[in-house]
Structures are given as C-alpha cells and as structure tokens.
Amino acid sequence: MKLITATAHAAQSEHPQAIALANDADPRALPLKGVARIDLHFPKFTDGRAFSQAFLLRRRLRFTGEIRAVGDVLIDQLVQMKRSGFDSAVLRTDQNPDFAQRQFDRYPAFYQGDAEQPQPHFAAGAGA
C-alpha cells in the first residue's frame, strides 16, 4: 500500500482523472470511464462508510484505478483499508509511517474474504 504525504497529495489535487467521493455517496452511481483515481474520505477514522465504498468499487465494479484514503487516516486502519480495496493512503500529518510496515507484516492471513483475496480462509486453505 502506497503511503502518500499530505504535501504530495496536495500537489496531485489537480489530477484531471481523479475524483473525490463523499462517504455517503453510492459509488455505483458513478461514471467510472476515464477515472484513474478515486479519493474516499474518512471524516473521522471511526466512520467506516468508505470501507464499504472501496469494497464496492474494487470488487463489485471491478474498478482498476487507484483508490486513495484521505482524511482522518491512521496507521492502525491501513491493513483493513488495503483489504477493503484501497491501494494508497494519505496519513494524517501526526502519524509515523515508520510504525506502519509492521502492521502489514503481522497477520499471515484472515478468516473472511475481502477485496484483495475474495475467498475466505476456509475455502482457500480447506480450514487448516
């Protein structure tokens, strides 16, 4: 998962093929043709609506462009963001990216399927 600094994100804000989606919008109503990046917003990190939006974009709509997490983005939610279909994130400025990598290294696998690995553990690993 690509971690982007706030400065770099701001510099890319004029990207012609990027759109920002409010977290109460239905991504299925979105014309995706020609869209290279979709920014999904976390007004607070405890507001989980963008996880469902990312999942719908990645899995349901097979969106292949970049899905970027913006807003109140903390390192402790990066793994679940990645699993929901995000591939980049703009960390809140106080976050230490040095602590991020070990979050990704922790769990070798999860129980349920997700946007990255659609099959649940029981189907993939025959329950072992």
Partner 1 sequence: MYQYTAFDRQFVAQRAAQYRDQLERNLAGTLSDDDFRPLRLQNGWYVQRYAPMLRVAVPYGELSSRQLRALARIARDYDQPSAVVYETAQSTQGKLGTTHLPTGYGHFTTRQNVQFNWIPLTRSADVMDLLASVDMHGIQTSGNCIRNITSDERAGIAVDEIVDPRPFCEILRQWSTLHPEFAFLPRKFKIAVSGAREDRAATAWHDVGLYVLRTANGEIGFKVVAGGGMGRTPIIASALREFLPWNQVLNYLEAVVRVYNRWGRRDNAYKARIKILIKAEGQRFVSEVEAEYKDIIGIDGAPHTITQHELDRVAASFVPPALQEPAPLTAIDGALPADPKEALDYSRWLQQNVAPHKNPALRAVTLSFKRLGQAPGDANASQLETAAELADRFSAGEARVTHDQNLLLPWVHAAQLPALWRAARQAGLARANIRLLTDMIACPGGDFCALANARSIPIAAAISERYQDMDELHDLGEIDLHISGCINSCGHHHSGHIGILGVDKDGREWYQVSLGGADGSTLSGAAQAGKVVGPSFGAAEVPDVIEALLDTYRRERQSGETFIATFRRVGMDKFKQAANSVRQTAEAEPA
Binding site for partner 1 (CB under 8 A): 24, 26, 45-49, 51-53, 55, 59-60, 74, 76-77, 79-81, 83-84, 96, 99, 102-103, 106-114, 118-123, 125-128
| Amino acid, res. 39 | D
We find the least distance from the C-beta atom of residue 14 to partner 1, in angstroms, to be 30
Coil, strand, or helix at residue 101? Answer: helix
Tokens found for residue 15: 């990207």
- CA-nearest of 75, 34, 74, 30 to 54 is 30
Determine how β-strand 88-90 pairs with β-strand 2-4: parallel
Q: Which is nearer to partner 1, 16 or 109 (CB)?
A: 109
Shortest Å, Cβ 92 to partner 1:
9
Nearest approach, Cβ of residue 33 and partner 1 (Å):
19
